[in-house]
Chains A and B, each alone.
Chain A
Amino acid sequence: MSATATSLLQPLSESLTTIARGADARALRAHLEGRGLPILGGDAEPAELILRALGETQDPQKFAASLAPILALVIAECMAERAEELTPILQLLLHQALRLAADLPASAMLAGRLRALAASLEEATPDFWYQAPLAPLVARALVHQQTDAQTEPLWLRLLETSGEDPWTPERRTVLLSAWRGLLHVPPDKEAAHVGRVIDMDRVERGLLALEAGVRSREGGPRLVRQALRVLTETFPRSPQFWEERLGAHIAGWPEGLREAAARQWSGLESIIQQQAQEEDLFELLTQLSEISDEESPEVVRAEDELRR
């Protein structure tokens, strides 16, 4: 960024420093509401300007981390003010707070506050996750603020209810975030100790739930393909790695998921074909054994081999 931009953002950087020192939630809220920001014109939003100003400080990452607990206080304040429904002005404030939350370093305190916000919004509006404009933002902020496994039940619940109506763009975005969130769950101590980063059971459970819910929906298969891309982006591993891990499970997967996986990792295609051939052969041998009065030793031997 140019030196001139730095000087324009300087007053905001200074204000944020004061806010961080004094844990001044009220002042952070004022900025999120559009007050005390540099006059730039155009359509830059408060959260974006705050992030740019953070980038101008000496240690942006450390400074950004120090702002997360204060943002948690702002969100708590919003929740306390909420009556039956969110007013448009409160929604606007939450929109900015959530945009900022998604881009700040993960903080357990902020994550806890976001979970409480999600629970409270869902309690007030049972179909919150399906079509509320704020839902994708809440999910996205939660994904990036996750520091432990406490959000895993929410991600799994969202994925396991993916077949319920309605089928909206918000829903698809929330589902993809839920999938991303599930992948971002950090490994427990024991798994981390032995270097097992990816929990394949969790991956398979989430993937099967997502696919089962969306397979008959318009654009459902596309969402599944996207989920597999997110998997490879989240855990950059060789195709062989995934083919070995997933190949062992793929026989039990529904056809649509098998196809999507084979499209993502072409090596799975030969595993699927081999499994299909074995299934066909097994079926043939079963039929043969049924029509012969007495099983020939060759058939018995072939069956035994196949079972092994």
Chain B
Amino acid sequence: MPPFVFDRDGADHSWERALRELAAGPDERRRAVAENWRMDHRVSRERETEDLLASGCFAAQDGAEEWRGALYTYFQLRLCQPSDPGSDPRSAYLYASNTSNLVGGLMPFDRLCHVGSLQTIVGRVLAGSAAADAAAELADEIGVALPEKPPGDRDPLWLTQAVSRFAERLAERGEVAVRTAARILLGAIGPAEPPWWACFAEEVQPQIDAGTAASLCEALGLGHRWTGEWLVVWTYPVSDAAPLYRPTVAEATDSPFHHPSPPEYSFGITMPLDPARGTCREVLHRPLRGPAAETACTGKLLYLEDFPPMVDTRLMELRRLHRERLRSEFGTDALTAWLDRHAEAR
């Protein structure tokens, strides 16, 4: 693999050893992550030096695992921060060094879609500062208890089961209750949350309408979700979420299901888990809160079952097909040169 970092010459880069180690061996996921960090031209030199390298998270000449640990630290300390542009600290995607990824020119009434995991949200609430407020509001407003570990429960996976029961109770109480719970839970997470990834709702409307979690995850390339999870879906106007940003590997961190988007293109592009499906345009924005988080929620909870592609995706084959699709869809000289520069190892 050529020694690029962010599509720039990286032969002497302090991450070279880490990326080389990451790409070595048979693990396709590790290789995909290394490739993404080598090829993503959307991380500007300013962001690289003023944000990533200046963050204090990365040490020179780290090995692959130290680098991954640093990446996790970067995600927590720099990205899981408030998305208010005026706040200090704020999430790193809002830094001036990432201005090149601002997305403009959209109709304010155009609609976006974000998919979240109920278990992840509940887990964050339980570990956060406002769990008591959330528990009291849920009980008062919709008569449902926030999941809590029962006394003496020794099962390390108690939360999965408790969130399932919670989801069923919410669903029994109807869509209004689900929307109310969405507002209360998101409010309790607090302002420090990574940005939301969103696509244009019309591109996945059939999957939203069908209410099948697996097909929604396949369409959006959400290969990191687990069988047995409950998903919550929000659709909302651009005006509720702006400003929008193009995603980069810095936000995707070590997601093997992310693929950097082509040069000269205005949006991120999803890599569907089923190559037969069309891609979706994707953006990043601040997480919804308050009344917007309630009204935008579809009120449906989607149970993710029969979702086997975690290992059997043949990730490299999926990426190859995705690149072919990008070539045929865009076919620009810049795209061709970019993909040729980053020909993937087989």
Contacts and interface: CB of A to CB of B under 8 A. Distances in A.
A5 B226 contact: yes
A2 B128 contact: no
B136 A222 contact: yes
B242 interface: no
Given A40-B224, A222-B140, A55 B156 contact: yes
Given A52-B157, A102-B149, A1 B311 contact: no
Contacts of A40: 29, 224
B257 A169 contact: no
Majority DSSP secondary structure for residues of A touching B: helix
A55 B131 CA distance: 25
Interface string A192-211: 00000000000000000000
Contacts of A106: 152
Contacts of B312: 4
B14 interface: no
B140 to A, nearest CB: 6
Contacts of B30: 39
Contact of A176 (B71, B131, B154): B131
Given A39-B254, A65-B154, A103 B149 contact: yes
Interface size class on chain B is 35 or more
A176 B65 contact: no
Interface string A35-70: 111111111111010011011000011001100000
Given A39-B33, A95-B127, A226-B139, A1 B228 contact: yes
B287 to A, nearest CB: 12
A34 B33 contact: no
Nearest to B125: A173
B127 A89 contact: no
A226 B311 contact: no
B169 to A, nearest CB: 14
Interface residues of A, number: 65
A103 B133 CA distance: 21
A43 B132 contact: no
B132 A225 contact: no
Interface in B117-144: 120, 123, 126-133, 135-137, 139-140
A169 B252 contact: no
A41 B257 contact: yes
A222 B138 CA distance: 11
A34 B72 contact: yes
B224 A42 contact: yes
B29 A39 contact: yes
B128 A136 contact: yes
Interface in A74-103: 88-89, 92, 95, 98-99, 102-103
Contacts of B73: 33-34, 89, 92
Contacts of B129: 133, 136, 168-170, 173
A144 interface: yes
A261 interface: no
A215 to B, nearest CB: 15
Contacts of A39: 27, 29-30, 33, 68, 254, 256
B264 to A, nearest CB: 26
A249 interface: no
A103 B27 CA distance: 30
A7 B159 contact: no
Contacts of A44: 120, 224
Contact of B156 (A1, A4, A54, A98): A54
A240 to B, nearest CB: 22
A305 interface: no
B148 interface: yes
A30 interface: yes
A51 B149 CA distance: 14
B322 to A, nearest CB: 15
Nearest to B157: A55
Most buried by B among A42, A104, A219: A42
B252 A41 contact: yes
Interface in B233-270: 252-258
Contacts of A1: 226-228
Contact of B68 (A34, A98, A102): A34
A9 B139 CA distance: 36
A294 interface: no
A140 interface: yes
A42 B225 contact: yes
B127 A36 contact: no
24 contacts: A2-B227, A4-B310, A7-B311, A8-B311, A34-B71, A34-B72, A39-B254, A41-B224, A41-B257, A43-B194, A51-B159, A64-B156, A88-B77, A98-B127, A99-B127, A102-B126, A103-B158, A104-B156, A106-B152, A136-B127, A183-B151, A223-B132, A225-B136, A233-B145
Pairs of residues from A and B, 10 with the lowest C-beta to C-beta distance, nearest first: A34-B72, A41-B255, A42-B224, A41-B224, A176-B132, A169-B130, A39-B29, A105-B154, A226-B136, A35-B69
Given A60-B157, A65-B154, A103-B159, 20 more contacts: A1-B228, A2-B308, A7-B311, A35-B66, A36-B65, A37-B68, A39-B29, A41-B29, A41-B252, A43-B120, A48-B123, A54-B156, A88-B77, A102-B149, A144-B149, A169-B130, A175-B132, A219-B136, A222-B140, A226-B135
